[in-house]
Amino acid sequence: MHKNLRIFILLLILLIISVGTLVSDRRITGWSHTLRVVVYPINGDHSPISAAYIETLTKDNFSAINDFLSEELEHYNVSLSEPIDIDLSAIVNELPPKIPVQGNAFDIMLWSLKLRYWAFTRDEYQGPKPEIQLFALYYDPKKSPEIKHSTGLKKGHMAIINLFADKRQRGSNLFIMTHELLHTLGATDKYNLATNEPIYPFGFAEPDLSPLYPQTYAEIMGGRIPINKNTFEIPSSLDKALIGEQTAKEIRLIE
């Protein structure tokens, strides 16, 4: 009885959230106004290296994301010179709730609600309320040479992004951050989650290129530049990324 009541209450909450999200989705991807985006830095491994790196960050470190989106919107004939206004919040001192490993649908729904509550209670940004929240967890690359996949959520318009605390990785960090930002707008992954291989044709920036390899650019949701059938590279900057037509449709740049 109690379990059924909990499930009913949870589903009711999710229904209310879903209705609000639907209205928000249409407004955010209408591309009629500049979106307010805030980055919340987090010391992901509690290391002094990550702490020192975070102290160097300014909002200007993220301006390339707006430049990239501005160029891509222009390519798709969308007239909005400043797609996003991205700002930097104070440091968040607590890690977000962990994504359940092999959790069932109920576990995932419960995690989603916990994450929203966590984000709401940890938001100390002093400016206008953001439309998109990017929680950036930084890791010392010497301690963590590999980091977990990031997660961008359309529902709630927020992302948990795992990045390296290394200035040499800033370009690739921005690529990953933009990838997750587009998830919050409705873009889907276009790579094989098991192998990281971009899926042809939608995961290729130039699927009609002949010969097909090597590609020069990465489709932003494909995640990597296909060099040949077996080699795929994360771009060193957003200068090597494009928004493909399928992604453009998903975020309503084109119909």
Are 204 and 181 contained in the same domain?
no
Domain boundary among 186, 212, 230: 186
Q: Is residue 19 part of a domain?
A: no
State pTM to two decimals: 0.89
Choose among 98, 92, 94, 95: nearest CA to 54: 92
* Count of CA atoms in the C-beta half-sphere (13 A) of 86: 26
Name 225's bridge partners: 233
Distances 234 to 53, 119, 148, 169, 179 between C-alpha atoms, Å: 22, 29, 15, 11, 12
The pLDDT of residue 109: 78
The pLDDT of residue 172: 96
The pLDDT of residue 111: 86
Are 199 and 180 contained in the same domain?
no
Are 135 and 249 contained in the same domain?
no
The pLDDT of residue 252: 95
* Structure tokens, 52: 């020192």
Domain boundary among 155, 186, 217: 186
Q: Is residue 89 part of a domain?
A: yes
CA distance 242 to 239: 8
| 75-79, 121-125, 219-223: segment of lowest average pLDDT | 121-125
Asked if 114 and 97 count as a contact pair (C-beta separation under 8 A), the reply is: yes
DSSP symbol at 99:
P
The boundaries of the domain holding residue 218 are 188-255
Distances 72 to 66, 82, 207 between C-alpha atoms, Å: 10, 12, 17
pLDDT more than 90, % of the chain: 73
The pLDDT of residue 255: 83
Q: Is the pLDDT of residue 17 over 60?
A: no
CA dihedral sign, ordered 140, 141, 146, 152 = positive
Asked if 166 and 134 count as a contact pair (C-beta separation under 8 A), the reply is: no
Q: Is the pLDDT of residue 8 over 60?
A: yes
Instruction: Annotate 145-183 with b (16+ C-beta within 10 A) or e (fewer).
Output: eebeebbbbbbbbbbbbbbbbbeebbbbbbbbbbbbbbb
The pLDDT of residue 100: 81
Q: Is the pLDDT of residue 81 over 90?
A: no
The pLDDT of residue 113: 85
Are 159 and 48 contained in the same domain?
yes
CA distance 180 to 162: 10
Distances 157 to 21, 122, 184 between C-alpha atoms, Å: 9, 16, 5
Confidence class of residue 13 from pLDDT cuts 50, 70 and 90? low
pLDDT tens digits, residue range 111-151?
A: 888 899 999 888 889 899 999 999 999 999 999 998 988 99
Asked if 36 and 123 count as a contact pair (C-beta separation under 8 A), the reply is: no
Q: Is residue 177 part of a domain?
A: yes
Count of domains in the chain?
2
pLDDT tens digits, residue range 41-57?
A: 999 999 999 999 999 99
CA distance 248 to 205: 12
The pLDDT of residue 179: 98
Confidence class of residue 12 from pLDDT cuts 50, 70 and 90? low
Are 172 and 199 contained in the same domain?
no
* Structure tokens, 146: 């590999």
Task: Look up tokens 């209310």; give the residue.
Answer: 16
Q: Is residue 61 part of a domain?
A: yes
Phi/psi of residue 112, nearest 5 degrees: -60, -40
Strands across the sheet containing 35-43: 84-88, 35-43, 132-139, 158-164, 151-153
* Structure tokens, 102: 């092999």
Q: Is the pLDDT of residue 251 over 70?
A: yes
Choose among 239, 238, 233: nearest CA to 182: 238
Confidence class of residue 102 from pLDDT cuts 50, 70 and 90? confident
CA distance 45 to 139: 6
Confidence class of residue 19 from pLDDT cuts 50, 70 and 90? low
